[in-house]
Amino acid sequence: MTTNQNTEKTPNNTFDAIVIGSGISGSWAAKELCEKGLKTLVLERGRDVKHIGDYPTAFSNPWDFPHRLHETQQMRAENPVVSRCYAFDESTEHFFVKDTEQPYIQEKPFDWIRGYQVGGKSLIWARQTQRWSKYEFENPARDKYAIQWPIGYEDIADWYTYIEKFVGISGNKDGLETLPDGDFLPPWEMNVVEREIQQDILKKYPDRQFIIGRCAHLTEPKEIHKAQGRGQCQARNLCYRGCPYGAYFSANASTLPRAEQTGNLTLKADSVVHSILYDDKEKKAVGVKVIDRLTKEVRHYYAKIIFVNAATENTNLILLNSTSKRFPNGLGNDNGLLGKYIAFHNYRGSLTATRPGNQDSYYFGRRPTAIMLPNFRNVQEQDTDFLGGYMTFYTATRKGWNREVEGEQIGAVFKEKISQPGEWSVYMMMQGETIPKQENHIRLSTDKVDDWGMPQLIASVDYDENDEKILHDFFVEGEAMLTAAGCENIQRGDSRQAPGLDIHVMGGVRMGKNPKTSLLNQWNQLHHCPNVFVTDGACMTSTGVQNPSLTYMALTARAANYAVEELKAGRI
């Protein structure tokens, strides 16, 4: 590697704050810190991506692609992991890390999906945004499958509102205790069959209220969104290519431009963070060591506070690689728990069915969200033989031109038949909570390194009997609900996908009240290095059943506000 040129502090390499990662949580840290007057450096290991200008396939038609959006055998052979991701195809592959670009070690099968570019995975996320309820924070300790969260819903509720107003979340006020209402834009609508299924299920199961999904799409932009240069969602279903309208929330369209407008942001792409620098004399972190992705030149940058938002796996990797005399096993890792208690969401189960009737009905556009049911298992108390719970989602669609048609296989008659929609089909899926376990962990290889000289990550994460019980319960209850809704030909599906493909990997640097059993306090500070904050998925004490991204953003804004207050008071 090129000789280090800036090991001494200078005005060009010294900032008030450093943020590692430019995705959903990192960009929120940047926005908040910059708006509060801190000169902030954001380090992104991937290439730069500018809003609109760097979305090359945003307006491309299927026939503009060599293979009409299909994956080739070569593409799958070269990328056996990333090609399994729902958003990966010819139109989006430039936003994903290819399998050969940064190898890692699967001690147990683990699909690590990565987006190394400015904006990170905020360009390719599924945009489902729900608040956690009080049960997500309270039940893990109540039922003794995780340590106690150091915060509750009341500590974060106002921050949820703060995030929702800026991001723009479509949804309906449903009045459900298990899924708190927020500050919403107008909701998307159910189609006629989805409404009928909703009502049929509610008749038999009064405690199971399916609602329209809540998602980060501007159905009706307000002034706060127009000021960001964002426009209304067009329901195109081309979101993973990058939205030129800025209609869904991404770091590139929203938070990073707002941070830049303050004049306090410095953004450096192609900057692979090797480790955080700890000063034994000052007894705090003083900066970061960075390797240029392209030239391999080593640089140091310095700051008073550091936010680590590299996404769960890389956040754990960086902290584990940040060794010093004080922290020989990784920054803040006095208890040896760094990288442990990794958990994720279980997406294995699905159900398909048909539903007769409504042959005269159709729908408009490509709605970006499904119909969802908050968790109804183990809510008020543990009432099953498994721990945790699961959300349920469904959609109803009419089969299109690619269905099988009896009779003629070519010609005018065949064309006429496929020009008419087919029968209604229903798809139902689960999002299951998994239990944080010490044996589910991430660690560093002692003999294999990547192209930048950093240890390769070893993933040792797996399902357990509890996951199988949740899966079975979803099948039984899902079939019962679809039957009650008049569905037919119900079929079970178990993807048996590896952990990681859910992309909701959490933990390893978990929050908690006790430094002996956790790494972070209630403000997302490392217990033993309080000028370092972690607010991405790595900080999560448990997974909950709701989608996590809104919680990441709320925790980040809350922690940034606290960090600035502590910095100004001279306490960090």
Q: What's the pLDDT tens digit per position in 473-493?
A: 999 999 999 999 999 999 999
Q: What is the pTM of this model?
A: 0.96
The residues with which 179 forms a beta bridge, in sequence order, are: 176
- Encode 140-158 in three state secondary structure: HHHCCCCCCCCCCHHHHHH
Tens of pLDDT, residue by residue over 344-371, are 999 999 999 999 999 999 998 899 999 9
Give how many domains the chain has, as a whole number.
1
Q: Is the pLDDT of residue 141 over 80?
A: yes
More confident residue, 417 or 457: 457
Calculate the average pLDDT of the chain: 96
- Pick from 539, 535, 152: nearest CA to 343: 539
Domain annotation covers residue 4: no
Place of tokens 């207050």: 565
Which residues does residue 421 pair with via DSSP β-bridges, in sequence order? none
Q: What is the CATH number of the domain that holds 172?
A: 3.50.50.60
Return d(Cα 161, Cα 172) in angstroms, integer: 14
538, part of any domain: yes
Could you give the 3-state DSSP secondary structure of residue 256? helix
Least confident residue range of 162-171, 420-429, 446-455, 457-466? 420-429
Interval 118-132: pLDDT, tens: 999 999 999 999 999
Whether 518 maps to a domain, the answer reads yes
Residue 408: the pLDDT is: 58
Mean pLDDT of 396-402: 77
Is 405 a member of any domain?
A: yes
Instruction: Please state the rounded mean pLDDT for residues 248-256.
Output: 98
Express each pLDDT in 172-181 by its tens digit: 999 999 999 9
In a domain, 257, yes or no: yes
- Does residue 328 belong to any structural domain of this protein? yes
CB 190 within 8 A of CB 209: no
Q: Which residue range(s) make up the domain with 521?
A: 14-568
pLDDT at residue 364, rounded to an integer:
86
Q: Are 263 and 278 in contact (CB under 8 A)?
A: no
Q: What are the residues facing 491 on neighbouring strands?
A: 352
Residues pairing with 267 in the sheet: 42
Q: What is the pLDDT of residues 524-556, one digit of tens each?
A: 999 999 999 999 999 999 999 999 999 999 999
Per-residue confidence at 195, pLDDT binned at 50, 70, 90?
very high
- Please check the confidence at residue 1 and state whether its pLDDT lies above 60: no
The answer to whether residue 1 sits within a structural domain is no
Tell whether 465 is covered by a domain.
yes
Mean pLDDT for the stretch of residues 390-399? 95
Q: Are 539 and 571 in contact (CB under 8 A)?
A: no
pLDDT bin (cut points 50, 70, 90) of residue 412 is: confident
pLDDT reported for residue 400: 67
